[in-house]
Amino acid sequence: MKIKYEPGRRYERVRVPAVMAPDRVVHKYQEVVVALDADQSRPVSVKGTTLYKVDNETIAFF
């Protein structure tokens, strides 16, 4: 995948769980690039995303 970085923006690479067992043991991670100065009012849409509610947390798989 090719990422287009915009000049003047701040980015950070974050490792997120990609494969997790029911007991919340992570078996595989994937790297996600996050714009730290992103507009928080704009929703993010990712094809194939699965969300899980665990206690008071929401966990997303992309």
For residue 33, CA distances in Å to 4, 45, 48, 55, 57 come to: 11, 14, 17, 26, 21
**Using CB atoms within 10 A of its CB, is residue 20 exposed (0-12), middle (13-18) or buried (19+)?**
middle
C-alpha R_g of the chain: 14
Look at residue 28 in the predicted model and tell me its pLDDT.
92
Tell me the pLDDT tens digit for each residue of 7-59: 888 888 888 888 889 898 999 998 888 787 776 666 566 666 677 777 877 77
